[in-house]
Amino acid sequence: MTTENTLPAHHPGSLLSVNHLSIPDVSEILAATARIEAMPAPERAKLLAGRRVALLFYESSTRTRTSFELAAKSLGATTTLVSDKSSSIEKGESLKDTGITLRALGAEAIILRHNASGAPDLLARMTGLPVLNAGDGMHEHPSQALLDFRTMLTRLGLDAASASETCLKGVTVVITGDIRHSRVARSNAMLLPRLGARVILCGPEPLLPREALSLHPAIEIERDLDRALSQASVAMMLRIQKERLAGLSLDLAAYIEGYQLTEARIAAHAPNVLVMHPGPMIRGLEIQSEVADGPNSAIEEQVRHGLAIRTALLVRALGVNA
């Protein structure tokens, strides 16, 4: 049995979860990204001229915040940042009331980063505004999955301006690390199989419980990184958050031994593998510094695609044709 009451729908411009995107939606986002990218800067800056976008960050994030902010500014939008470190989030004020206040102040879309899973759903429901999920708790980071997807398409020499159910056919993506706590892993593991990719999750049991198989019917789990790598076209590494290991029976030295992505591992098992990491990285823990900076790495490109994808998401949120 499922839920008996239907929750009010959110604004169609929202992006709360990759599961709310159809394949045509994904395709349209890619196409818009390409079109915006090709525009001369002055023309691009007219797309959202005079529009107001609020960035609501309850959790600090230099990368994602700057990416969204620069994307919005490049489109001519006015942005305002409300962070937990600023005085703007009144002490104790609820997320609902903060959202309603931002709406009253003229915000037309809200980009939300929050440490509680599902916070963007709540904000979208309470304000009716388009809400872009910039990472919520252990739940999702949908714009990251889209930028990862675009990075794969360009680096694998595929069409970067359209998506289909088979566009990643033949591509095996190995996602390695703390999948239990990773919103990046969830969004990628739910999105990439729908685009034809084979997705293998890799990590020790405490970081990768069997429930992860429920992310998509085609998901696979492989505990041995070498075995996973030997099948991989893409190796997506995740940050190990040391503070989250408390209470889990995990030995850091053993983790490095078993799961660090090293030059030796790549040479032995996957010389052509595309190396990705959503950042921030801990060099020397989940990934060797040489690998992060090496020829297989697409880490810097991911950041560039992030900016591009977010322009398309903003344009979509505000209902503008680009």
Partner 1 sequence: MTDLLIRNAHVIDPATSLDAQKDVLVREGRISAIEHPGAFTTLEIKDTIDAAGLALAPGFIDVHVHLREPGQTWKETIATGTRAAAAGGYTTVVAMPNTVPVNDTVESLTWMLAPERNSAINLLAMPAATQGSLGEHLTHYEALAMGGAVGFTDDGKPILDDHVMRAALVTAARMGLPVSQHAEDTRLTGGCSMHAGPVAFRLGLRGMTVEAESNIVERDIALLREIESDEGLRPHLHVQHVSTAKALAAIRQAKQQGLHVTCEAAPHHFTLTDDALEGYNTNAKMNPPLRAETDRLAVIEAILDGTVDCIATDHAPHAAHEKEVEFERAPNGITGIETALGLALRVLHRQHGLPVAHIVALMSNNPAKIIHLKDRGSLKAGNYADIVLFDPAAEWTFAAAQSLSKSKNTPFDQAPMLGRVHATISEGRVVHRHGTAR
Site of interaction with partner 1 (CB under 8 A): 1-7, 94-96, 114, 116-119, 121-122, 126, 136-140, 183, 186, 190, 209, 211-215
Closer Cβ to partner 1, 100 or 256, answer by number: 100
Distance (Å, whole) CA 64 – CA 44: 21
Look at the alpha carbons of 266, 268, 269, 272 in this order and tell me if their dihedral is positive or negative. positive
Cβ proximity to partner 1: between 5 and 249 the closer is 5
Calculate the dihedral angle through the C-alpha atoms of 161, 272, 199, 159, rounding to the nearest 10 degrees.
10
**Least distance in Å: CB of 209 to partner 1?**
7
Integer Cα distance of 121 and 142 in angstroms: 13
- Shortest CB 253 distance to partner 1, Å: 27
CB of 194 to partner 1, least distance (A): 14
CB of 188 to partner 1, least distance (A): 13
Distance of alpha carbon 37 from the chain centroid: 20
Asked whether 16 and 72 are in contact (CB, 8 A), the reply is no
CB of 198 to partner 1, least distance (A): 20
**What is the nearest approach in angstroms of partner 1 to the Cβ of residue 141?**
10
Nearer to partner 1, 69 or 148 (CB): 148
Judged by beta carbon, residue 112 or residue 261, the one nearer partner 1 is 112
Using CA atoms, how far apart are residues 82 and 177, in angstroms rounded to an integer? 31
For partner 1, the closer CB: 93 or 293: 93
- Residue 119 CB, shortest distance to partner 1, in Å, is 5
Please report, to the nearest 10 degrees, the dihedral formed by the alpha carbons of residues 167, 169, 171, 177 taken in order.
Answer: 90
Q: Tell me the three state secondary structure of residue 148.
A: helix
Q: How many CB atoms lie within 10 A of CB 238?
A: 25
Cβ nearer to partner 1, comparing 13 with 135: 135
Nearer to partner 1, 28 or 220 (CB): 220
Residue 302 CB, nearest approach to partner 1 (Å): 22
Helix 62-74 and helix 299-317: axis angle, to 10°? 50
Nearer to partner 1, 137 or 196 (CB): 137
Report the length, in residues, of the chain.
322
- In sequence order, the 6+-apart residues with CB closer than 8 A to the CB of 59 are 84, 113, 114, 115, 135
Distances (CA, A) of 169 to 145, 195, 247, 277: 17, 8, 39, 22
- Spatial distance between the Cα atoms of 21 and 142, rounded to a whole number of angstroms: 10
Complex with partner 1: residue 114 or 155, whichever CB lies closer: 114
As measured in angstroms, the least distance from the Cβ of 181 to partner 1 is: 8
| Angle at CA of residue 220, ends 217 and 223, nearest 5° | 155
Distance from the Cα of residue 84 to its chain's centroid: 21
